[in-house]
Structure 1
Amino acid sequence: MTTKKQRQQMVAKKTESEKIRILKIMRDAEIYTLTLDPLIESYLDIFEIYQTMYMEWKEKGFPVTQRHTNKAGATNNSKHPLAQQVETWSDKKTKALDFLGLTNKAKAGKIVTGGSSVRKDEELERPKAVVDELAAHRNKWRKS
């Protein structure tokens, strides 16, 4: 078991290393601008909260459920609050990364892989549609 102060120091170290990592990735990808600083700070706040919740949940042994006794005296299993919090903050962390453009989801439509086989001085011609016998027969009877 770690103390609260030790956990805070560990989270601060992880947050600082995450900031360095994010900035390095963004500079290498040439997507960093000063206008993204507020988003980066927001992401780091989310990351810090996520790490805090995750460390507490880890220290408790990653319990998925906890037992809860209601007013009537019945005991039920319910989802552990830390498990819910880690899940929630993980989703928020992913959304923040998406806003920063650091997920592959944002890049999928923009990147074209492979080069074109057409030279720049050539025009690309579309192939003519091939009409098979069945389609020709259908068209013949639809027009009448």
Structure 2
Amino acid sequence: MSADQMSVGEQLAATVPMAKTLGLEFLESTAERAVVRLPDHADFHNHVGGPHAGAMFTLAETASGAIVLAAFGDQLGRAVPLAVKAEIGYKKLAMGSVTATATLGRPAGEVVAELDRGVRPEFPVTVAITRADGAVTAEMIIVWTLRPKA
């Protein structure tokens, strides 16, 4: 299967070993929204029996990468997507499997227009991590860029 035929989840699992290691499940990957689940696995628990903060960070960062790939995959021939910075806030105790939902903070067309003008665009992706009962356990903002290839 070529990279063009692979789903966003398959591409990320193939190129980002940590996503595969954590067994992340890609539920939705569009230019508008990406949804990724971290199954409940004892090997990834913290001292209180829920998902470790590092696993939750990776989940959120991966969901943000999924939406970036879905929104800007057609730009990969000329630009490399890179995370610039990230901030996460843990809100409630997470237990069991958790799900990250990512959304773009700027219209994709606006970002591509900057790239077309020779500007290295930056754009935020917001991510909410929820438990099975719908409670938000963490929120993350990741700033991404599309670095033009030399």
* TM-score normalised by structure 1 residue count: 0.29
Higher strand share: 2
Higher relative contact order (CA 8 A, sep 6+): 2
Q: Which has the larger radius of gyration?
A: 1
**TM-score normalized by the length of structure 2:** 0.28
Indicate the structure with greater helix content. Answer: 1
